Amino acid sequence: MKASAPGKIILFGEHAVVYNRPALAVPVTQVHVDVEVLDSPRHGIWIHAPGIDLHSELNSLPADHPIGSVILKLFSTLGISSLPTLDITIASTIPVAAGLGSGAAVSVALIRALAQYLAHPLSNEKINDLVFEIEKLHHGTPSGIDNTVITYAQPVYFIKGQPMEIFKVGKPFTIVIGDTGIPAPTKESVSDLRRLWLRNTNHFEEIFNEIAQISLIARRSIESGKTELLGNLMDHNHSLLQDMTVSSPMLDGLVKTARNAGALGAKLSGSGRGGNMIALVDQPNAESVAGALISAGAKRTIITEVN
Ligand code: PMV
């Protein structure tokens, strides 16, 4: 039994989404997690994740191991008490801690493959709920946007605690993703921002309101195919993220490089301070913007079409 899940990027609204403002995220299908579940010839539940050099039996993993806890959480949800014998192989092309949703994608693909194997296929809604529970175990107070966009694998308009909305893309557009290669310290940037917000609530509430407007206008622009409007919205969102102290010299440098190389707009994406930036480009310019990012020190780039 096989299942997979894509990576993701946040287009607009990261961080503000933690404070109940809307954010937009889209799947990135160029990178993905693929899980295969087979009968095992030997006793136990064997997990192979060559990318992280993991070849282990479930019971010998630490209790809080992210992969082990997904499996145990699913078994308890399905009411399975006698453990089957299984060989589980997890392969991922999603860079880790880069803001591309690698953890949520492992959980989604693993739950989907196991649930099907155990003849208990789950709805997307149920998978999303379970993965959100797991995200909370590892990331403190996540908004839930990562698990949602990755479970549904479609563009989502997301407000914390509300039913998510899938939105249509009126005209496809091209994004270049540039990875700083620096792990994004999500927990730290989220808690630093909380401290600042507590000290200066009015100021940050105003910033979040501005971002909420950006997300709303961006959604309308994407739905109506007016993607040329997105560049300025990205630039504006990036400057607000700088005000929120979640950018970094490297992210700012890559954003500037992308604009100088002809991108229509650019911003950091995800929790910031490391991780990724994204740039809106005319499709024919995608390769040259990606090349400029690499020359400026990006560790890797991904060109993705949002459609
Ligand atoms: O780095 P990522 O893409 O996992 O993004 C975290 C996004 C935040 O808005 C900063 C936090 C959250 O839980 O939504």
* Structure confidence at residue 10 (pLDDT): 98
Contact 237, 182 (CB under 8 A): no
Å from CA of 96 to ligand 1 middle: 14
Burial of 171 (0-12, 13-18, 19+ CB in 10 A): middle
Residues 6+ apart with CB under 8 A from 198: none
Q: Which amino acid is at 119?
A: A
* Structure confidence at residue 81 (pLDDT): 86
* Ligand 1 pocket test target in 26, 31, 94, 190 with most atoms within 8 Å of CB: 190
- Angle among Cα 162, 163, 169 to the nearest 5 degrees reads 115
CA distance 293 to 291: 5
Q: What is the DSSP pairing of strand 300-306 with strand 173-179?
A: antiparallel
CA dihedral 175, 246, 92, 83 (to 10 degrees): -140
CA dihedral 256, 259, 265, 271 (to 10 degrees): -30
Task: Let me know if 146 is a catalytic residue.
Answer: yes
Q: For atom 4 of ligand 1, which residue has the closest CA?
A: 99
Splitting the chain (307 residues) into consecutive groups of 10 residues, what average pLDDT does each group show? 97 98 98 96 94 94 92 94 92 92 96 95 96 88 95 98 95 98 92 97 98 98 97 98 98 98 98 97 98 98 97
How many helices, marked H, and strands, marked E, lie in the chain? 9, 11
CA distance 148 to 129: 9
Q: Is 142 in the pocket of ligand 1 (CB under 6 A)?
A: yes
Q: Is 135 in the pocket of ligand 1 (CB under 6 A)?
A: no
Q: What is the pTM of this model?
A: 0.95
Q: Is 21 in the pocket of ligand 1 (CB under 6 A)?
A: no
Q: Is 186 in the pocket of ligand 1 (CB under 6 A)?
A: yes
Rg (CA), the chain: 20
Å from CA of 147 to ligand 1 middle: 11
Contact 236, 218 (CB under 8 A): no
CA distance 205 to 197: 8
Q: Given 34, 146, 192, 235, which residue is catalytic?
A: 146
Q: Is 17 in the pocket of ligand 1 (CB under 6 A)?
A: yes
Q: What are phi and psi of 174, to 5 degrees?
A: -110, 135
CA distance 175 to 184: 20
- Taking alpha carbons only, the member of 137, 138, 50 closest to residue 88 is 50
Render 39-87 in DSSP notation, one character per residue.
Answer: E-SSSSEEEEEGGGTEEEEGGGS-TT-HHHHHHHHHHHHHT--SPPPEE
Q: Is 273 in the pocket of ligand 1 (CB under 6 A)?
A: no
